[in-house]
Structure 1
């Protein structure tokens, strides 16, 4: 991945195969979007409902490329110091006290100050680590949870893949990291950032792909049970639920049913394990009333 020749060796089908080998089952759209992000060296903005595999795509890309994944989890109020760098104040203070003791109070102020802002006291946060440790995959998770100011700051970093630290100097990536941004679309990401990125909307997988994901992630899952779980989850997503289940919930549900050691998906076992797939009482009531689970066993 380090030079143009290596990037040129990729193709959408090769990326699909690499992701598949890394445990991620892509469709053609996802494989093509990932290929373009690699070949054009552009950030990839993945939007979609929770549980559609956005974060897992970045993790699989890192595994497929054989590089580290560096994750920046966005949240309300995140600022540049939390994402980029900070100074280790306790160690700086201890260093000053050591200097004072060594010089018996005759401390040169300028020399002392310059010694505080060196590599040993620099705390690299995810963005700075990605610039310094590239090649790597930088995952900026849930960018929609950050505010406008942070989004503008991130755009500046991604435009140059460099930052200037006043006390330290410029840090520039020798190789741009592969950047994946995710958004659950709780708010609109600004057009300026979208223009900097390639864009892909991730849908929930279709039935065939979801069965494939379940069987890939849970090798011991019986094929029939995988199909029944996937079909029930697909039907749940058609209901007006507070939180439709994603792939992660489908996996949890399949594991819960596996733990009961049932050969078949029946109404009793499905109802008993609904807490693995649905997280709101209103959703549970709606699914029970929909008939998706079938008729419960009337045995005492």
Structure 2
């Protein structure tokens, strides 16, 4: 645990070295999560860097990243553990061939247990606890949140056949949500909370300089301003940093040194992800509302 940062400023420095830029509020939230041993729930619009935060944190700590991608219908077996029924059946047949019999106690042991992300975190024995990313928790069903409560509150997993397994050192847990539905209070109470806004134009410029070093300053400045103006339109999906990075990268590949209506339209597929949004931006360009 000696690799843990001692302050929010140190977290900022470590993440900055990895070209993941955070403001003081985000750095403080990460620091408190580490210092208090509490899960951190990150919410914000898609594309603001919630998932990237967990990845960068794991890299900054030298910790393994274990990811649980949530989706509708996610089950306990996919998140916690499953029994390897094929191996159990093979063991039964092998015992029968030797005229032996196996009891439930013989079959439901760790030898036949398949650990999924939550149990993997609890069983991890490395020098630095793993970072568990529970990504897009709002996509999972309400019932799945209840399955998380023991793990989030006690860093443990209960297996009826084996008992309760408690982590030797609690994993570092980051949950992300796009607010496609409301999360239950019981889950929120177990977490620290931080909302991530779209970065300011100056922060966008800093990020683009790091991530697209081949782009010139004029293009980066104008792209940051343009992206901010586009978010002011009535879009289905506002472009996040991932889209802005892809867009500037595409413009750079085409040799653009400044924004024009023609090269914006030519590369708009990297910034806008629905036909309605694309048409809205094209119309705004025709009316000279964005440039």
The verdict on a shared fold, with TM-score over 0.5 as the criterion, is yes
Select the residue among 187, 200, 204 that pairs with 1:206. 200
Per-residue deviation, residues 120-149 of structure 1 (Å, max 9, x unmatched)? 321111111111116010111111111221
Root-mean-square deviation over aligned CA pairs:
1.7
Q: Secondary structure at the match of 2:20?
A: coil
**1:294 Cα shift?**
5.3
Per-residue deviation, residues 167-226 of structure 1 (Å, max 9, x unmatched)? 233211111111111000001111111111111000000001111111212222222212
Structure 2: how far apart are the matches of 1:18 and 1:292? Answer: 44
**1:234 Cα shift?**
0.8
Q: Decide whether the 8 Å contact of 1:232 with 1:293 is kept in 2.
A: no
Q: Decide whether the 8 Å contact of 1:117 with 1:167 is kept in 2.
A: yes
Matched residue, 2:146: 152
Q: Decide whether the 8 Å contact of 1:164 with 1:171 is kept in 2.
A: yes
Structure 2: how far apart are the matches of 1:32 and 1:292? Answer: 44
Q: Decide whether the 8 Å contact of 1:232 with 1:292 is kept in 2.
A: no
TM-score relative to the length of structure 2:
0.93
Q: Secondary structure at the match of 2:132?
A: strand
1:215 aligns with 2:172: no
1:86 aligns with 2:82: yes
Q: Decide whether the 8 Å contact of 1:43 with 1:179 is kept in 2.
A: yes
Distance 1:292 1:217, change over 3 A: farther
Structure 2: how far apart are the matches of 1:157 and 1:95? Answer: 31
Structure 2: how far apart are the matches of 1:15 and 1:251? Answer: 23
Q: Decide whether the 8 Å contact of 2:41 with 2:177 is kept in 1.
A: yes
1:278 aligns with 2:289: no
Per-residue deviation, residues 50-89 of structure 1 (Å, max 9, x unmatched)? 0010000000110010000111111111121110000112
Select the residue among 102, 108, 127 that pairs with 2:101. 108
Q: Decide whether the 8 Å contact of 1:142 with 1:184 is kept in 2.
A: yes
Q: Secondary structure at the match of 2:236?
A: coil
Structure 2: how far apart are the matches of 1:171 and 1:22? Answer: 35
1:183 aligns with 2:177: yes
Q: Secondary structure at the match of 1:228?
A: helix
Matched residue, 2:18: 22
The structure 1 segments of at least 4 consecutive aligned residues displaced by more than 4 Å after TM superposition are 292-295
Q: Secondary structure at the match of 1:288?
A: helix
Matched residue, 1:46: 42
**1:292 Cα shift?**
8.3
Structure 2: how far apart are the matches of 1:47 and 1:81? Answer: 26
Q: Which 5+ residue runs of structure 1 have no aligned equivalent?
A: 296-300
